[in-house]
Amino acid sequence: MLVTTPGTLVSAPSVQPCGLAREASPVRVGLIGCGAFSRFSMHHYRTLPGVSIDMVADIQPDAAHRAAAELGAKDVASETILACPDIDLVYIATPPALHFQQARSAILAGKHVLVEKPLATTVADAEELRALATARRRICVANLIERYNPLAGATKQIIDSKLLGELIHGLFINEAADEGLGRSHWFWDRKTSGGIFVEHGVHFFDLVASWLGPGRVLSASRGLRPGCDPPVEEQVMCTCRYNGVLFHFEHGFHQPSRMDRQEMRLVFERGELQLFDWVPTHGVVRGLVDDAGQTMLMQMLPQANAYPLEWYEGTQQRLLGRFKPFEASAYVEITFTTGLDKLGIYGKVVGDLAADQIAWIRESTHVRRLTEADSVASVMMACAADEMALAGP
Protein backbone atom coordinates (compact mmCIF):
# COMPACT_ATOMS: atom_id res chain seq x y z
CA MET A 1 0.00 0.00 0.00
CA LEU A 2 1.06 3.56 -0.67
CA VAL A 3 0.41 6.43 1.78
CA THR A 4 -0.49 9.59 -0.17
CA THR A 5 -2.17 12.09 2.14
CA PRO A 6 -2.37 11.68 5.92
CA GLY A 7 -4.69 8.81 6.68
CA THR A 8 -5.32 7.94 3.03
CA LEU A 9 -4.30 4.59 1.66
CA VAL A 10 -4.44 3.65 -1.99
CA SER A 11 -3.40 0.52 -3.81
CA ALA A 12 0.18 0.37 -4.95
CA PRO A 13 0.46 0.74 -8.73
CA SER A 14 -0.28 -2.50 -10.55
CA VAL A 15 1.43 -3.54 -13.77
CA GLN A 16 -1.87 -3.68 -15.64
CA PRO A 17 -1.91 -1.17 -18.52
CA CYS A 18 -4.82 1.25 -18.64
CA GLY A 19 -7.59 1.98 -21.12
CA LEU A 20 -7.26 0.72 -24.65
CA ALA A 21 -5.34 -2.41 -23.72
CA ARG A 22 -7.95 -3.55 -21.19
CA GLU A 23 -11.10 -3.64 -23.24
CA ALA A 24 -12.80 -6.28 -21.12
CA SER A 25 -12.20 -4.52 -17.80
CA PRO A 26 -14.32 -1.73 -16.40
CA VAL A 27 -13.30 1.79 -17.33
CA ARG A 28 -12.09 3.27 -14.05
CA VAL A 29 -12.82 6.92 -13.37
CA GLY A 30 -11.10 9.37 -11.05
CA LEU A 31 -12.94 12.59 -10.24
CA ILE A 32 -11.16 15.87 -9.53
CA GLY A 33 -13.52 18.51 -8.11
CA CYS A 34 -16.42 17.26 -5.99
CA GLY A 35 -18.69 20.30 -6.22
CA ALA A 36 -22.29 20.88 -7.22
CA PHE A 37 -22.14 19.70 -10.81
CA SER A 38 -19.97 16.64 -10.43
CA ARG A 39 -22.34 15.35 -7.74
CA PHE A 40 -25.01 15.41 -10.42
CA SER A 41 -22.95 13.97 -13.25
CA MET A 42 -21.33 11.23 -11.16
CA HIS A 43 -24.79 10.04 -10.24
CA HIS A 44 -25.34 9.38 -13.96
CA TYR A 45 -21.83 8.04 -14.75
CA ARG A 46 -22.16 5.41 -12.08
CA THR A 47 -25.18 3.91 -13.85
CA LEU A 48 -23.20 3.34 -17.06
CA PRO A 49 -22.37 -0.32 -17.69
CA GLY A 50 -18.70 -1.20 -17.21
CA VAL A 51 -17.82 2.08 -15.52
CA SER A 52 -16.42 2.25 -12.04
CA ILE A 53 -15.81 5.47 -10.11
CA ASP A 54 -12.82 4.57 -8.02
CA MET A 55 -11.28 7.76 -6.66
CA VAL A 56 -12.29 11.34 -5.89
CA ALA A 57 -10.25 14.41 -4.97
CA ASP A 58 -11.07 17.93 -3.87
CA ILE A 59 -9.15 20.66 -2.08
CA GLN A 60 -12.07 20.90 0.32
CA PRO A 61 -11.86 17.78 2.50
CA ASP A 62 -15.59 17.83 3.32
CA ALA A 63 -16.56 17.84 -0.37
CA ALA A 64 -14.22 14.94 -1.08
CA HIS A 65 -15.42 12.90 1.94
CA ARG A 66 -19.05 13.39 0.97
CA ALA A 67 -18.46 12.40 -2.68
CA ALA A 68 -16.40 9.38 -1.63
CA ALA A 69 -19.18 8.22 0.68
CA GLU A 70 -21.88 8.77 -1.94
CA LEU A 71 -19.96 7.01 -4.69
CA GLY A 72 -18.27 4.29 -2.69
CA ALA A 73 -14.93 5.66 -3.95
CA LYS A 74 -11.61 6.43 -2.28
CA ASP A 75 -10.97 9.98 -1.18
CA VAL A 76 -7.43 10.80 -2.29
CA ALA A 77 -5.21 13.64 -3.50
CA SER A 78 -5.45 14.64 -7.20
CA GLU A 79 -1.84 13.51 -7.65
CA THR A 80 -2.81 10.04 -6.47
CA ILE A 81 -5.46 9.80 -9.16
CA LEU A 82 -2.93 10.77 -11.81
CA ALA A 83 -0.30 8.40 -10.47
CA CYS A 84 -2.63 5.40 -10.27
CA PRO A 85 -2.23 3.19 -13.34
CA ASP A 86 -5.66 1.65 -12.75
CA ILE A 87 -7.44 4.94 -13.48
CA ASP A 88 -8.32 5.23 -17.18
CA LEU A 89 -10.40 8.40 -17.29
CA VAL A 90 -10.10 11.57 -15.23
CA TYR A 91 -13.22 13.71 -14.99
CA ILE A 92 -12.30 17.29 -14.06
CA ALA A 93 -15.10 19.39 -12.58
CA THR A 94 -13.25 22.28 -11.00
CA PRO A 95 -13.73 25.98 -11.84
CA PRO A 96 -12.77 26.81 -15.47
CA ALA A 97 -9.40 28.53 -14.90
CA LEU A 98 -8.04 25.26 -13.46
CA HIS A 99 -9.09 23.06 -16.36
CA PHE A 100 -6.04 23.58 -18.57
CA GLN A 101 -3.35 22.68 -16.03
CA GLN A 102 -5.34 19.81 -14.54
CA ALA A 103 -6.25 18.34 -17.92
CA ARG A 104 -2.67 18.76 -19.18
CA SER A 105 -1.26 16.95 -16.15
CA ALA A 106 -3.80 14.17 -16.58
CA ILE A 107 -2.97 13.63 -20.26
CA LEU A 108 0.75 13.67 -19.48
CA ALA A 109 0.03 11.01 -16.86
CA GLY A 110 -1.48 8.89 -19.64
CA LYS A 111 -5.14 9.42 -18.73
CA HIS A 112 -8.17 10.07 -20.89
CA VAL A 113 -9.81 13.30 -19.81
CA LEU A 114 -13.37 14.52 -19.70
CA VAL A 115 -13.27 18.16 -18.61
CA GLU A 116 -16.22 20.20 -17.55
CA LYS A 117 -16.90 23.05 -19.93
CA PRO A 118 -15.07 25.07 -21.02
CA LEU A 119 -12.17 22.92 -22.20
CA ALA A 120 -9.90 25.85 -21.26
CA THR A 121 -10.28 29.60 -20.87
CA THR A 122 -7.94 30.57 -23.73
CA VAL A 123 -7.68 29.35 -27.30
CA ALA A 124 -3.95 28.66 -26.95
CA ASP A 125 -4.56 26.42 -23.93
CA ALA A 126 -7.44 24.61 -25.61
CA GLU A 127 -5.30 24.01 -28.72
CA GLU A 128 -2.46 22.70 -26.57
CA LEU A 129 -4.76 20.19 -24.90
CA ARG A 130 -6.06 19.02 -28.25
CA ALA A 131 -2.53 18.61 -29.63
CA LEU A 132 -1.33 16.73 -26.55
CA ALA A 133 -4.36 14.43 -26.49
CA THR A 134 -4.09 13.69 -30.20
CA ALA A 135 -0.37 12.97 -30.00
CA ARG A 136 -0.91 10.58 -27.09
CA ARG A 137 -4.10 9.02 -28.44
CA ARG A 138 -6.08 10.15 -25.45
CA ILE A 139 -9.52 11.69 -25.21
CA CYS A 140 -9.71 15.27 -23.97
CA VAL A 141 -13.16 16.74 -24.55
CA ALA A 142 -15.28 19.28 -22.72
CA ASN A 143 -18.65 18.21 -21.34
CA LEU A 144 -20.62 19.92 -24.13
CA ILE A 145 -23.84 18.02 -23.62
CA GLU A 146 -26.26 19.95 -25.82
CA ARG A 147 -25.58 18.05 -29.04
CA TYR A 148 -26.51 14.78 -27.27
CA ASN A 149 -30.12 15.88 -26.72
CA PRO A 150 -32.50 13.93 -28.98
CA LEU A 151 -34.20 17.25 -29.74
CA ALA A 152 -30.89 18.59 -31.07
CA GLY A 153 -30.73 15.59 -33.40
CA ALA A 154 -34.34 16.12 -34.53
CA THR A 155 -33.63 19.80 -35.16
CA LYS A 156 -30.65 18.92 -37.34
CA GLN A 157 -32.80 16.51 -39.34
CA ILE A 158 -35.39 19.23 -39.91
CA ILE A 159 -32.75 21.75 -40.98
CA ASP A 160 -31.14 19.27 -43.37
CA SER A 161 -34.48 18.02 -44.76
CA LYS A 162 -35.47 21.56 -45.84
CA LEU A 163 -39.10 20.61 -45.21
CA LEU A 164 -39.55 24.15 -43.90
CA GLY A 165 -37.27 25.63 -46.59
CA GLU A 166 -33.87 27.14 -45.87
CA LEU A 167 -32.96 28.17 -42.34
CA ILE A 168 -32.74 31.98 -42.36
CA HIS A 169 -31.69 32.86 -38.83
CA GLY A 170 -31.61 31.68 -35.24
CA LEU A 171 -32.00 33.27 -31.85
CA PHE A 172 -31.19 31.94 -28.39
CA ILE A 173 -32.55 33.86 -25.44
CA ASN A 174 -31.25 32.67 -22.09
CA GLU A 175 -32.74 34.42 -19.06
CA ALA A 176 -30.97 32.36 -16.43
CA ALA A 177 -31.34 32.34 -12.68
CA ASP A 178 -28.57 33.71 -10.48
CA GLU A 179 -30.23 32.75 -7.22
CA GLY A 180 -27.63 30.06 -6.52
CA LEU A 181 -24.75 32.35 -7.46
CA GLY A 182 -23.94 34.48 -4.40
CA ARG A 183 -21.75 37.56 -4.65
CA SER A 184 -18.60 35.62 -3.75
CA HIS A 185 -19.21 32.73 -6.20
CA TRP A 186 -16.33 32.12 -8.62
CA PHE A 187 -18.82 32.50 -11.53
CA TRP A 188 -18.64 36.32 -11.21
CA ASP A 189 -14.84 36.39 -11.13
CA ARG A 190 -13.76 36.55 -14.75
CA LYS A 191 -10.23 35.37 -13.91
CA THR A 192 -11.71 32.11 -12.62
CA SER A 193 -14.72 31.64 -14.91
CA GLY A 194 -13.46 33.27 -18.11
CA GLY A 195 -16.68 35.32 -18.33
CA ILE A 196 -20.16 34.24 -19.42
CA PHE A 197 -19.32 33.51 -23.06
CA VAL A 198 -16.50 31.18 -22.01
CA GLU A 199 -18.08 29.60 -18.94
CA HIS A 200 -21.55 29.14 -20.38
CA GLY A 201 -21.79 30.31 -24.00
CA VAL A 202 -19.61 27.41 -25.20
CA HIS A 203 -22.57 25.05 -24.83
CA PHE A 204 -24.60 26.95 -27.41
CA PHE A 205 -21.78 27.78 -29.82
CA ASP A 206 -21.21 24.03 -29.93
CA LEU A 207 -24.89 23.17 -30.34
CA VAL A 208 -25.32 25.48 -33.31
CA ALA A 209 -22.04 24.28 -34.84
CA SER A 210 -23.40 20.72 -34.59
CA TRP A 211 -26.30 21.85 -36.79
CA LEU A 212 -24.61 24.22 -39.21
CA GLY A 213 -20.84 23.73 -39.12
CA PRO A 214 -18.20 26.26 -38.06
CA GLY A 215 -19.26 29.75 -37.03
CA ARG A 216 -17.75 33.22 -36.88
CA VAL A 217 -18.53 35.98 -34.38
CA LEU A 218 -19.60 39.23 -36.04
CA SER A 219 -20.32 41.45 -33.03
CA ALA A 220 -20.64 41.15 -29.27
CA SER A 221 -21.42 43.22 -26.21
CA ARG A 222 -21.93 42.78 -22.50
CA GLY A 223 -23.92 44.33 -19.69
CA LEU A 224 -22.65 45.02 -16.17
CA ARG A 225 -24.85 44.94 -13.09
CA PRO A 226 -25.33 48.51 -11.86
CA GLY A 227 -23.67 49.52 -8.60
CA CYS A 228 -21.23 46.60 -8.33
CA ASP A 229 -17.56 47.01 -7.53
CA PRO A 230 -15.70 44.92 -8.65
CA PRO A 231 -17.82 44.81 -11.81
CA VAL A 232 -20.35 42.01 -12.28
CA GLU A 233 -20.82 40.90 -15.88
CA GLU A 234 -24.46 39.77 -15.82
CA GLN A 235 -25.35 39.54 -19.50
CA VAL A 236 -23.62 39.05 -22.83
CA MET A 237 -24.92 39.07 -26.38
CA CYS A 238 -23.38 38.29 -29.73
CA THR A 239 -24.29 37.83 -33.35
CA CYS A 240 -22.56 35.11 -35.34
CA ARG A 241 -22.69 33.68 -38.82
CA TYR A 242 -22.72 29.91 -39.39
CA ASN A 243 -22.38 29.00 -43.06
CA GLY A 244 -24.37 32.04 -44.11
CA VAL A 245 -26.98 31.76 -41.34
CA LEU A 246 -27.14 34.60 -38.81
CA PHE A 247 -27.44 33.51 -35.19
CA HIS A 248 -27.95 35.75 -32.19
CA PHE A 249 -27.16 34.58 -28.64
CA GLU A 250 -28.20 36.33 -25.45
CA HIS A 251 -27.13 34.99 -22.05
CA GLY A 252 -28.20 36.78 -18.90
CA PHE A 253 -27.80 35.62 -15.30
CA HIS A 254 -30.16 37.87 -13.40
CA GLN A 255 -33.40 36.03 -12.69
CA PRO A 256 -34.92 34.38 -9.61
CA SER A 257 -34.90 30.58 -10.01
CA ARG A 258 -38.62 30.42 -10.62
CA MET A 259 -38.23 32.71 -13.62
CA ASP A 260 -35.32 30.82 -15.18
CA ARG A 261 -36.30 30.46 -18.85
CA GLN A 262 -34.75 29.88 -22.23
CA GLU A 263 -35.90 29.76 -25.81
CA MET A 264 -34.13 28.69 -28.97
CA ARG A 265 -35.92 29.90 -32.09
CA LEU A 266 -35.01 28.90 -35.64
CA VAL A 267 -36.70 30.84 -38.42
CA PHE A 268 -37.07 29.08 -41.76
CA GLU A 269 -38.51 30.22 -45.09
CA ARG A 270 -41.81 28.46 -44.43
CA GLY A 271 -41.98 28.06 -40.69
CA GLU A 272 -40.18 28.14 -37.37
CA LEU A 273 -38.99 25.78 -34.68
CA GLN A 274 -38.80 26.63 -30.99
CA LEU A 275 -37.05 24.65 -28.26
CA PHE A 276 -37.71 25.43 -24.60
CA ASP A 277 -35.39 25.18 -21.57
CA TRP A 278 -31.63 25.39 -21.76
CA VAL A 279 -31.35 21.63 -21.95
CA PRO A 280 -34.46 21.50 -24.13
CA THR A 281 -37.26 19.24 -22.98
CA HIS A 282 -39.96 20.16 -25.50
CA GLY A 283 -40.71 22.41 -28.42
CA VAL A 284 -43.02 23.41 -31.22
CA VAL A 285 -42.82 23.67 -34.99
CA ARG A 286 -45.16 25.90 -36.96
CA GLY A 287 -45.06 25.80 -40.71
CA LEU A 288 -46.68 25.84 -44.12
CA VAL A 289 -46.65 22.24 -45.31
CA ASP A 290 -48.40 19.69 -47.45
CA ASP A 291 -49.63 16.34 -46.08
CA ALA A 292 -46.39 14.51 -46.89
CA GLY A 293 -44.31 17.26 -45.30
CA GLN A 294 -46.38 17.14 -42.13
CA THR A 295 -46.00 13.37 -41.91
CA MET A 296 -42.24 13.57 -42.37
CA LEU A 297 -41.87 16.31 -39.76
CA MET A 298 -43.86 14.25 -37.28
CA GLN A 299 -41.65 11.22 -37.93
CA MET A 300 -38.58 13.31 -37.08
CA LEU A 301 -39.95 14.62 -33.79
CA PRO A 302 -40.50 12.60 -30.59
CA GLN A 303 -44.01 12.32 -29.17
CA ALA A 304 -45.34 14.71 -31.81
CA ASN A 305 -48.90 16.03 -32.02
CA ALA A 306 -50.18 18.09 -34.95
CA TYR A 307 -52.77 20.88 -34.73
CA PRO A 308 -53.80 22.38 -38.06
CA LEU A 309 -54.16 26.17 -37.69
CA GLU A 310 -55.46 26.83 -41.25
CA TRP A 311 -56.31 24.75 -44.35
CA TYR A 312 -55.80 25.99 -47.91
CA GLU A 313 -57.65 24.90 -51.04
CA GLY A 314 -57.31 25.57 -54.75
CA THR A 315 -55.36 28.71 -55.58
CA GLN A 316 -54.94 29.43 -51.83
CA GLN A 317 -52.32 26.69 -51.85
CA ARG A 318 -50.00 28.77 -54.03
CA LEU A 319 -47.75 30.87 -51.85
CA LEU A 320 -44.72 33.08 -52.35
CA GLY A 321 -41.78 33.92 -50.08
CA ARG A 322 -38.24 35.19 -50.69
CA PHE A 323 -39.19 35.58 -54.39
CA LYS A 324 -39.86 31.83 -54.53
CA PRO A 325 -43.24 30.18 -55.27
CA PHE A 326 -44.27 27.11 -53.28
CA GLU A 327 -47.42 25.18 -52.38
CA ALA A 328 -48.85 24.27 -48.99
CA SER A 329 -52.14 22.72 -47.97
CA ALA A 330 -52.04 23.76 -44.31
CA TYR A 331 -50.49 25.99 -41.70
CA VAL A 332 -49.81 23.49 -38.96
CA GLU A 333 -48.51 23.51 -35.40
CA ILE A 334 -46.64 20.41 -34.20
CA THR A 335 -45.78 20.09 -30.55
CA PHE A 336 -43.18 17.59 -29.40
CA THR A 337 -41.51 16.48 -26.20
CA THR A 338 -38.76 14.25 -24.89
CA GLY A 339 -41.24 13.11 -22.25
CA LEU A 340 -38.60 13.93 -19.64
CA ASP A 341 -38.45 16.83 -17.20
CA LYS A 342 -35.46 19.16 -17.05
CA LEU A 343 -33.38 17.04 -14.70
CA GLY A 344 -34.37 13.88 -16.55
CA ILE A 345 -33.10 15.09 -19.90
CA TYR A 346 -30.06 16.75 -18.27
CA GLY A 347 -29.07 13.44 -16.69
CA LYS A 348 -29.64 11.57 -19.94
CA VAL A 349 -27.36 13.84 -22.00
CA VAL A 350 -24.63 13.78 -19.34
CA GLY A 351 -24.73 9.98 -19.36
CA ASP A 352 -24.91 9.73 -23.16
CA LEU A 353 -21.90 12.00 -23.66
CA ALA A 354 -19.83 9.98 -21.20
CA ALA A 355 -20.96 6.69 -22.78
CA ASP A 356 -20.02 7.95 -26.26
CA GLN A 357 -16.52 8.95 -25.12
CA ILE A 358 -16.01 5.78 -23.10
CA ALA A 359 -16.99 3.72 -26.16
CA TRP A 360 -13.89 5.17 -27.87
CA ILE A 361 -11.71 4.24 -24.90
CA ARG A 362 -12.92 0.67 -25.32
CA GLU A 363 -12.70 0.62 -29.10
CA SER A 364 -10.84 3.37 -30.94
CA THR A 365 -12.73 2.76 -34.20
CA HIS A 366 -15.85 4.17 -32.48
CA VAL A 367 -16.83 7.51 -34.04
CA ARG A 368 -17.59 10.02 -31.29
CA ARG A 369 -20.29 12.65 -31.65
CA LEU A 370 -18.13 15.24 -29.86
CA THR A 371 -14.40 15.58 -30.45
CA GLU A 372 -11.45 17.59 -29.19
CA ALA A 373 -11.80 19.80 -32.30
CA ASP A 374 -15.42 20.62 -31.36
CA SER A 375 -14.34 21.43 -27.81
CA VAL A 376 -11.63 23.79 -29.09
CA ALA A 377 -13.99 25.41 -31.64
CA SER A 378 -16.44 26.36 -28.89
CA VAL A 379 -13.61 28.05 -26.94
CA MET A 380 -12.54 29.91 -30.09
CA MET A 381 -16.05 31.29 -30.59
CA ALA A 382 -16.39 32.17 -26.91
CA CYS A 383 -13.02 33.93 -26.71
CA ALA A 384 -13.68 35.86 -29.94
CA ALA A 385 -17.06 37.02 -28.58
CA ASP A 386 -15.55 37.86 -25.21
CA GLU A 387 -12.77 39.94 -26.79
CA MET A 388 -15.28 41.88 -28.91
CA ALA A 389 -17.55 42.45 -25.93
CA LEU A 390 -14.66 43.73 -23.81
CA ALA A 391 -13.45 46.02 -26.60
CA GLY A 392 -17.03 47.25 -26.65
CA PRO A 393 -18.14 50.58 -28.08
User: Largest Cα–Cα distance in the chain?
Assistant: 84
- Which one of the spans 94-102, 249-257, 290-298, 374-382 is the region binding ligand NAD (CB under 6 A)? 94-102
Q: Applying CB under 6 A, does 32 fall inside the site for ligand NAD?
A: yes
Q: Round to the nearest angstrom and report the end-to-end CA distance of the chain.
A: 61
**Residue closer to ligand NAD (CB basis): 117 or 222:** 117
Query: 194: closest CA among 56, 38, 378?
Result: 378
**Residue closer to ligand NAD (CB basis): 257 or 303:** 257
- Which one of the spans 57-65, 133-141, 309-317, 383-391 is the region binding ligand NAD (CB under 6 A)? 57-65
Shortest distance in whole angstroms from residue 173 CB to ligand NAD: 18
- Which one of the spans 16-24, 34-42, 329-337, 354-362 is the region binding ligand NAD (CB under 6 A)? 34-42
How many positions of this chain bind ligand NAD (CB under 6 A)? 23
- The sign of the dihedral angle between the CA atoms of 91, 94, 100, 105 is negative
Query: 36: closest CA among 55, 54, 60?
Result: 60
Q: Applying CB under 6 A, does 36 fall inside the site for ligand NAD?
A: yes
Burial (Cβ within 10 Å: 0-12, 13-18, ≥19) of residue 24: exposed
**Residue closer to ligand NAD (CB basis): 132 or 345:** 345
Residue 11 φ then ψ, to 5° = -65, 145
User: Which residue of 98, 151, 273, 379 would you call a contact of ligand NAD, by CB under 6 A?
Assistant: 98
Contact map string, positions 59 to 78, toward ligand NAD, x by CB under 6 A:
xx--x--------------x
Give the relative orientation of helices 150-161 and 291-300 as an angle to the nearest 10 degrees: 150
**Residues in 104-163 that interact with ligand NAD by CB under 6 A:** 116-117, 143, 145
**Residues in 192-221 that interact with ligand NAD by CB under 6 A:** 199
User: Which residue of 18, 42, 56, 57 would you call a contact of ligand NAD, by CB under 6 A?
Assistant: 57
- The backbone region for 213, taken as left when phi is positive above 0, alpha when psi lies in -120 to 50, beta otherwise, is left
- CA 108 centroid distance within chain: 25
CA distance 376 to 386: 15
User: Which residue of 37, 312, 326, 331 would you call a contact of ligand NAD, by CB under 6 A?
Assistant: 37
* Three-class DSSP category at 22: coil
Q: Applying CB under 6 A, does 375 fall inside the site for ligand NAD?
A: no
Sites of contact with ligand NAD (CB under 6 A):
32-38, 57-60, 63, 78, 93-96, 98, 116-117, 143, 145, 199
